[in-house]
Amino acid sequence: MRDIWSSPETLTFLGAPRCEAKPEELRKAGARAAFFGAPVDTQGFPQRPGTVLGPKALREASGQYTGAATLEHGIDVRNYWGLVDCGDAARIGYLHIDSHLDTAESLAGSTQTMASPISRVVEVPGVSPENVVVYGARGLGNPPALVRRATSLGVRVIPMSEIIDRGVDATIEDALDTIWSNTDVVYVSLDNDALDPSCAPGTTAPEPGGITAREILRIAMAVGSRGVAMMDIAELSPNFDPSAITARLDCHWVVYVLSAFAAAIKAGKVASPAGRASKRAAAATQPARRSR
Ligand SMILES: [Mn+2]
């Protein structure tokens, strides 16, 4: 049976040569026009999904013509415009480690608030709610309206209660499977209030009953072993932590993620994010000169 849902990797729009979507590459190719796919279904019309297949459909349809010149003008637009095909925009997975759902549409009239990251991230082109996970939600900071909104947005919530029941290893693997499902890259955000205040008191809204220091290092290794394109750390407030253990734990988070990522690249389990990183990655796996 013919596979109508996918097209060969080699199929490009109007048979145009492939080109990376970078200004220097486009200049080098002499391109004055480029085809660039954005295979996403937005949440604006959830009853009729399908636009995720649009770029492939255009490439397939264009392959049914022998040329690219109209009867009226007789100009081959591929040659005239130096047309190239830049492939598709990356689909992005997003892991949000936080005691808060952060699904508020707006706060006090503003849509860009500390309680709205999930509402905003699902609006980013290339991000589908089915690749968004909130991990570690708990406590009194999640009113029913925000719980309902998490459901209506279609993001996956793995609450702290589930992490306690099923364990860190099983739940973080589920989270990673979800954010990595048909995506090219992932973004991981760690809010310090996901952590238990006993190990991370230096944060704006400490909530009891959170992820322990041991558990977050375990999570870091799981995250790193799959690779990560972007990371951030939110809500680090050193003024609430005279012992400075929160910042030290955050340092560990970054180093453990990058270390597990480097080990996975070295073992051939994941691809290096860029060829130029290979030498640096190899250098970074040399034994550390000093430790404490
Ligand atoms: Mn939070």
Q: How far is the CA of 147 from the centre of ligand 1 (A)?
A: 14
Q: How far is the CA of 210 from the centre of ligand 1 (A)?
A: 11
Q: How far is the CA of 204 from the centre of ligand 1 (A)?
A: 8
Helix H segments across the chain?
23-28, 54-62, 77-81, 117-121, 144-153, 160-166, 168-179, 213-226, 245-266, 277-284
Q: How far is the CA of 107 from the centre of ligand 1 (A)?
A: 15
- Separation of alpha carbons 210 and 203, rounded Å: 13
Q: How far is the CA of 158 from the centre of ligand 1 (A)?
A: 14
- Separation of alpha carbons 78 and 19, rounded Å: 14
Q: How far is the CA of 193 from the centre of ligand 1 (A)?
A: 5
Confidence of residue 173 (pLDDT cuts 50, 70, 90): very high
pLDDT digits (tens, 9 = 90+) for 216-257: 999 999 999 999 999 999 999 999 999 999 999 999 999 999
Task: Look at 38 and 183; give whichever has higher pLDDT.
Answer: 183
| pTM for this prediction | 0.75
Task: Look at 38 and 215; give whichever has higher pLDDT.
Answer: 215
Q: How far is the CA of 234 from the centre of ligand 1 (A)?
A: 8
On the question of pLDDT at 139 being above 60, the answer is yes
Side chain identity at residue 89, one-letter code: A
pLDDT digits (tens, 9 = 90+) for 201-221: 999 999 999 999 999 999 999
The count of other CB atoms within 10 Å of the CB of residue 111 is 12
